[in-house]
Amino acid sequence: MQRILGVLIIGGTLLLGQAVNSGVVHLGVANADNGTSASPYGPVDQNAPLDFSTQPASVPKNYQPGQLYNIEVLKGYTYPRVLQEMEAYTVALGVGCEYCHNEKNFAYDTKTKIVSRKMISMVANLDSSWITPVHKQFTNYAVSGQVGCVTCHRGQPSIPVEWNVVPVQYLDWPAKTTKQAGFVLNSMYSVSKSLGVNCLFCHNTADFVTLQYYPSNRIAHRMWQMVDAINHQYLPPDVKAVTCYTCHRGAKWPSKLVKAGLDETPVEPVPAHPEVHANPGAHLDPGST
Amino acid sequence: MALLEFEEEYRKPGATLLRDVFGGDPFDFWVGNFYVGFWGVVAAGAIALGVAILFVAVGQYGDWDLLRANIPPPTREFGLGPAPFIHGGAWQLVVFFASISFIAWAMREVDICRKLQMGYHVPAMFSLAISAWLTLQIIRPLFMGCWCEGFDLGFTGHLTWVSNTGFRFMNFYLNPFHAYAVLGFFLAAMLLAMHGSAILGTQQTDPDPRVEMHREDGFWRDYAGYSIGEYGIHRLGFYLAVFTLIMSDLCILTSGTLVGDWVDFWHPF
Amino acid sequence: MATFLGRPVVHEPVEEFEPLEPGQPDPLGIRLGEPTRLDLLREFKVDTQIGTIWLGVWGVLSIMLFVAAGGVFFLAAFEQVNGSLLDFFRYLANVQLTPPDGLGPAPSLREGGYWQITLGLLVGATLFWAARCWEHLVRHKWRPFLLFAYLSAVFLSACIFVIHPLVLGSWAEAPALGLNGDLDWAQAFSVLWGNLYYDPWHQLAIFFLFGSTMLWGMHGATILATSSEGSHHEDAEIKNMHSGSLKSMLFWRWAMGFNATPKTIHDWLWWFAVGTVVASGIGILSTGTVTNDWYVWGVDHGTVAQYGPITREAINQRPAPIPPEVLARPVSPPAQ
């Protein structure tokens, strides 16, 4: 009788874990949102009539191929150089020229083209404001390479919004109440899954609050500020937010970095912290959790 | 250490495991209140050696404070092999001798049960408690492939280990075996309070024992609708402790071997 | 005859439990129904009589408030799963009533109102049950150990849900009501206050908690091992010890050098159990008051090794208000 009870208890628990497998909200994570942000800035309708009244003055009514018109972000680039850039965009987003441009008039400002300008300047700003300073400060922990369109887009025009939880700006602020700390913890889980690591990669769990000396911890702080900047300064208001997952895709460093115009760059492994071994039980399993 | 007034008639040689197996037991005597026996000698020896190594190791690490002193296990690169003394060998030795002493202590309790012609319930329960130690320090590290998985021998050091191990698996509260074990611990505390209160509360002067039993049974029936009885409550407590210990063993045995992320356990990515 | 390791196995005598007399009618309550027998329980060697139960004023009030609290909880839970019964069971562990910020009444039902109502009902139910406990202790002429044990558990709950939030100035310091909500609170509480493992009161509480289970193992095993000699008739044994109790005492005396008596072991049991909850309560109360960070407290008082450089400014920043310009920003760009 007791044996049957024991089997029922243990078996029931295991079954329960598997049975509520599909679609259960991640425990402790409030709004985990899995999917892609279907972009409203989709392919340009090539049959729509061109309305020049809303266009800037530099857009010509009679477009001549081979000429540069209406250049804002790529100022100073030669025509072949512009074409080279454009080809990189098509590979990075997995789209054709017709996705952003009206093929009757490549200079015409479509909605998609306007958003793309923001994206291009964003990439430049990310590298100069966030990525390069991290390289300089933590030479042992960062990898060479810079972000490019492909890092987020990975050959798709839409970006994934998996693990879309919580106020990233709150992460960089000391929690005010236990309830607020709970929200921070939920986001921490999303960060963990996005990077494929466990808590011990950035934290000394003896004290999450005061022991923030791991380099990965300091890098993470910069990264949140970057994500916050992306979401509030560059993303158009009707697109869901990016999270760590968008670039990292479950790896400690994004696998699709660019270097001097190349789409991929070989990356060096991130070494484990020497501090970890002084901390009882803080073993990092190779790779992830 | 004077004898209790009835103790004399119970202090008789014989009935130990060694005597029944080998026909003689040279260690069948008492030292003060303590029964020795063959297993007592083994336990005393293992304890003495283990404590000696402990002192040497703490001396080498330098921190003598009782709460801060810590002996860490070997690091990952040694795997399941022996490690140099300072780099985890001390830990290995202390764990070895401690395990020997715990098992010897349990066997000594078996000998005492045989002498007193009691059931073996106490050493059985103690063996379950030892199983928690063995699971944490020996069985799970063997499954995980390195001695580094055992916990540090130190007062606050082992607490840091618990904290780190918990967060290594993201949220250990979501381990269902852990949840059952916690439930078992809290129920045990509640049940203990109830049983203690029942006995202490009924210490009256009425010499008729049937009055006491009805006052106990009567109270619980009025209060909660059921009285498990004076035999039943001890069964319940015993098996609750058994259940709690088994769940505890399972909770750490499945972590790292079968499951790497207890949040993920409830919803794979 | 069955043997184990060479010794005969003795089964405990099966005792017939005497039926309960119905007792005098009492104007403040009634004994409900007739006692029934559940013979299945004989397999487990526990008492087979189910009932009767006393239905008194305090008990009825307590149950009513408890059921009301449950009703409010399920109402709020169904609201969270948008009325779907399937989802309710799927997400049963996740539904939670969260407390409001600040100390006043909640701004709305969903933002803490449900929590406050449910907790208020539970507090009432708890206190009425304490009255029920007291009533029965008096009726059956028991000394009030059970009441003090119950009240100490209530003390712990009060510390967690009421006193600690009041002291720190916000209901949001209290746990949400719900399975994972409570677990999240435990996790967040420990992370926020510098890891509760280093709180000495928490350490003491864990000592008493594990000790309680250990004592159950010891005491339960001891009684079961000597029950063939009647040691489970503990009241009778306290007055006049027979061989079962004598053997129990000798076992522990020979094993660990000292022993309790059939009466004093229950002192140990009671104080360990009550010590668990009282130490926990004190630990909760001293968090945020005695110190903001238990790890740093431990390092300062020499109980914990220092694992790395400590950023002390981090603890002094709590509770720090989030600047209004950060609060004013939308959480994320609005969903399409």
Q: What is the pLDDT of residue B216?
A: 81
Report CB contact under 8 Å: A177, C170.
yes
Q: Which of A6-10, B57-61, C1-5 has the lowest mean pLDDT?
A: C1-5
Q: Least CB-CB distance to A239: which of C175, C311, C336?
A: C336
Per the domain annotation, does A64 fall within a domain? no
The enclosing domain of B77 has a CATH number of: 1.20.85.10
Interface probe with C: pick from B163, B223, B248, most Cβ of C within 10 Å: B223
Torsion of CA C129, C130, C135, C141, to 10 degrees: 130
Give the integer Cα–Cα distance in Å for C205 and B194. 18
Amino acid at B93: L
Longest dimension (CA), chain C: 83
Report CB contact under 8 Å: B267, A24.
yes
Q: Are residues B73 and B36 both part of a single domain?
A: yes
Report CB contact under 8 Å: B168, A281.
yes
User: HSE-up of B174 (CA within 13 Å, CB side)?
Assistant: 26
Q: In A, residues 6-35, which contact B (CB 8 Å cutoff)?
A: 6, 9-10, 13-14, 16-17, 20-21, 24-29
- Domain C28-147 adopts which CATH fold? Photosynthetic Reaction Center, subunit M; domain 1 (1.20.85)
Q: What is the pLDDT of residue A28?
A: 35
Q: Are residues B205 and B121 both part of a single domain?
A: no
Q: How many independent structural domains does chain B possess? A: 2
% of chain C residues with pLDDT over 70: 85
Interface probe with A: pick from B235, B263, B265, most Cβ of A within 10 Å: B263
**pLDDT grade, residue B214 (50/70/90)?**
low
Report CB contact under 8 Å: C189, A241.
no
Q: What is the pLDDT of residue C333?
A: 39
Taking each helix axis from N to C end, the angle separating C264-286 and C200-225, rounded to the nearest 10 degrees, works out to 160
Ordered alpha helix ranges (H), chain C: 40-43, 57-80, 85-90, 114-139, 145-158, 164-168, 179-192, 200-225, 234-239, 243-256, 264-286, 294-300, 313-316, 324-328
Between A42 and A116, name the one with better pLDDT: A116
Instruction: Kindly state the DSSP code that residue C93 receives in the 8-state scheme.
Output: T
Q: Which two tokens stand for residue B262?
A: 């207890």
Task: Kindly report the average pLDDT of chain A as a whole number.
Answer: 75
Between C102 and C148, name the one with better pLDDT: C148
Report CB contact under 8 Å: C188, A169.
no
Q: Are B63 and B153 a contacting pair, CB within 8 Å?
A: no
Per the domain annotation, does A213 fall within a domain? yes
**pLDDT grade, residue C212 (50/70/90)?**
very high
10 Å CB burial of residue C244 (0-12, 13-18, 19+) is: buried
Q: Which two tokens stand for residue A48?
A: 């729509």
Q: Are residues B152 and B134 both part of a single domain?
A: yes
Q: Are residues B84 and B140 both part of a single domain?
A: yes
Q: Are residues B69 and B112 both part of a single domain?
A: yes
C47 CB within 8 Å of a chain B CB: yes
Does residue C8 surpass a pLDDT of 50? yes
Domain boundary among the residues B168, B185, B209 is at B168
Q: Which two tokens stand for residue A150?
A: 């492909």
Instruction: Identify the CA nearest to C260 among candidates C229, C290, C318, C219.
Output: C219
Q: Are residues B139 and B248 both part of a single domain?
A: no
Q: Least CB-CB distance to B168: which of A2, A25, A198?
A: A198
**pLDDT grade, residue C54 (50/70/90)?**
confident
Give the integer Cα–Cα distance in Å for A233 and C75. 41
B185 contacts on C by Cβ (under 8 Å):
209-210, 212-213
Between C333 and C328, name the one with better pLDDT: C328
Does residue B35 surpass a pLDDT of 80? yes
Domain boundary among the residues B168, B188, B218 is at B168
Residues 6+ apart with CB under 8 A from C114: C72, C73, C75, C76, C97
Give the integer Cα–Cα distance in Å for A164 and C334. 12
Q: Are A142 and A201 a contacting pair, CB within 8 Å?
A: no
Give the integer Cα–Cα distance in Å for C194 and C292. 7
C333 contacts on A by Cβ (under 8 Å):
231-232, 235-241
C24 CB within 8 Å of a chain A CB: no
Does residue A29 surpass a pLDDT of 70? no
Instruction: Identify the CA nearest to C329 among candidates A60, B251, A29, A229.
Output: A229
Residues composing chain B? 269
Closest chain C residue to the Cα of B162, Cα to Cα: C197
A16 contacts on C by Cβ (under 8 Å):
none
B70 contacts on A by Cβ (under 8 Å):
280
What value of ipTM does the predicted structure carry? 0.93
Chain segment A181-227, per-residue pLDDT in tens: 887 887 788 888 888 888 888 888 898 888 888 888 888 888 888 88
The enclosing domain of A213 has a CATH number of: 1.10.468
Instruction: Identify the CA nearest to A103 among candidates A66, A133, A74, A63.
Output: A63
Q: In A, residues 186-205, which contact C (CB 8 Å cutoff)?
A: 186, 204-205
A196 contacts on B by Cβ (under 8 Å):
none
Instruction: Kindly state the DSSP code that residue B139 receives in the 8-state scheme.
Output: I
C183 CB within 8 Å of a chain B CB: yes
Q: Are residues B60 and B7 both part of a single domain?
A: yes
In degrees and rounded to multiples of 5, residue C98 shows phi and psi of -95, 150
In degrees and rounded to multiples of 5, residue B219 shows phi and psi of -60, -55
Exposure string over B231-242, b if 16+ CB within 10 A, otherwise e: bbbbbbbbebbb
Would you list the DSSP string of A31-61? ----SB---SS-S--TTSPP-GGGS-TTS-S
Does residue A276 surpass a pLDDT of 80? no
Chain segment A137-149, per-residue pLDDT in tens: 877 665 667 788 8
Does residue A248 surpass a pLDDT of 60? yes
Q: In B, residues 186-225, which contact C (CB 8 Å cutoff)?
A: 186, 188-204, 207, 209-210, 212-219, 221-225
Does residue A280 surpass a pLDDT of 60? yes
Note the pTM of the prediction, 2 decimals: 0.86
A286 CB within 8 Å of a chain C CB: no
Between B173 and A174, name the one with better pLDDT: B173
Report CB contact under 8 Å: C143, B232.
no
Between C28 and A272, name the one with better pLDDT: C28
Q: Are B230 and C233 a contacting pair, CB within 8 Å?
A: yes
Between A163 and B34, name the one with better pLDDT: B34
Chain segment B149-205, per-residue pLDDT in tens: 999 999 999 999 999 999 999 899 999 999 999 999 999 999 999 999 999 988 864
C1 CB within 8 Å of a chain A CB: no
Taking each helix axis from N to C end, the angle separating B176-201 and C145-158, rounded to the nearest 10 degrees, works out to 140
Report CB contact under 8 Å: B168, A28.
no
Give the integer Cα–Cα distance in Å for C27 and B74. 71
A232 CB within 8 Å of a chain C CB: yes
Between A106 and C15, name the one with better pLDDT: A106
Report CB contact under 8 Å: A280, B72.
yes
Interface probe with C: pick from B191, B192, B238, B243, most Cβ of C within 10 Å: B192
**pLDDT grade, residue C336 (50/70/90)?**
very low
The residue segments making up the domain with residue B103 are 1-168
How close A105 gets to chain B, by Cα (Å)? 45
Q: Where in chain C is the domain with CATH 1.20.85.10?
A: 28-147, 193-303
Q: Are residues B122 and B186 both part of a single domain?
A: no
Q: Are residues B217 and B146 both part of a single domain?
A: no
Q: Are residues B129 and B188 both part of a single domain?
A: no
Number of inter-chain CB pairs under 8 A, A vs C? 151
Class level of CATH domain C193-303: mainly alpha
10 Å CB burial of residue B155 (0-12, 13-18, 19+) is: middle
To which residue do tokens 């015993």 refer?
B238
How close B148 gets to chain C, by Cα (Å)? 18
Q: Are B122 and B239 a contacting pair, CB within 8 Å?
A: no
**pLDDT grade, residue A45 (50/70/90)?**
confident
C308 CB within 8 Å of a chain A CB: yes
Q: Which two tokens stand for residue B203?
A: 């210490």
CA distances from C309 to B188, C145, C299 (A): 41, 49, 11
C202 CB within 8 Å of a chain B CB: no
Number of inter-chain CB pairs under 8 A, B vs C? 296
Q: Least CB-CB distance to B170: which of A17, A25, A289?
A: A289
Closest chain C residue to the Cα of A186, Cα to Cα: C184
By DSSP bridging, strand C3-4 and strand B153-154 are: unpaired
Report CB contact under 8 Å: B117, C7.
yes
A198 CB within 8 Å of a chain B CB: yes
Q: Which chains touch C (3 or more CB pairs under 8 A)?
A: A, B
Task: Kindly report the average pLDDT of chain C as a whole number.
Answer: 85
Q: What is the pLDDT of residue C158?
A: 96
Give the integer Cα–Cα distance in Å for A187 and A26. 12
Q: Are residues B56 and B153 both part of a single domain?
A: yes
For residue C294, the SS3 value is helix
Instruction: Kindly state the DSSP code that residue C161 receives in the 8-state scheme.
Output: I
Instruction: Kindly state the DSSP code that residue A146 receives in the 8-state scheme.
Output: B
Between A165 and A22, name the one with better pLDDT: A165
Q: What is the pLDDT of residue A54?
A: 85
Chain segment C98-110, per-residue pLDDT in tens: 999 888 898 888 8
Q: In B, residues 187-216, which contact A (CB 8 Å cutoff)?
A: none
Does residue C295 surpass a pLDDT of 60? yes
Q: How many independent structural domains does chain A possess? A: 1
Does residue A256 surpass a pLDDT of 50? yes
Q: Least CB-CB distance to C336: which of A181, A232, A238?
A: A238
Instruction: Identify the CA nearest to C330 among candidates A186, A232, A39.
Output: A232
Give the integer Cα–Cα distance in Å for C257 and B32. 8
Does residue C140 surpass a pLDDT of 60? yes
Chain segment B59-118, per-residue pLDDT in tens: 999 889 999 999 999 988 898 999 999 999 999 999 999 999 999 999 999 999 999 999
Torsion of CA A268, A274, A276, A278, to 10 degrees: 170
Q: Are residues B145 and B28 both part of a single domain?
A: yes
Domain boundary among the residues B118, B135, B168 is at B168
**pLDDT grade, residue A287 (50/70/90)?**
very low
Between A265 and C273, name the one with better pLDDT: C273
Give the integer Cα–Cα distance in Å for A206 and B160. 6
The residue segments making up the domain with residue A153 are 120-278
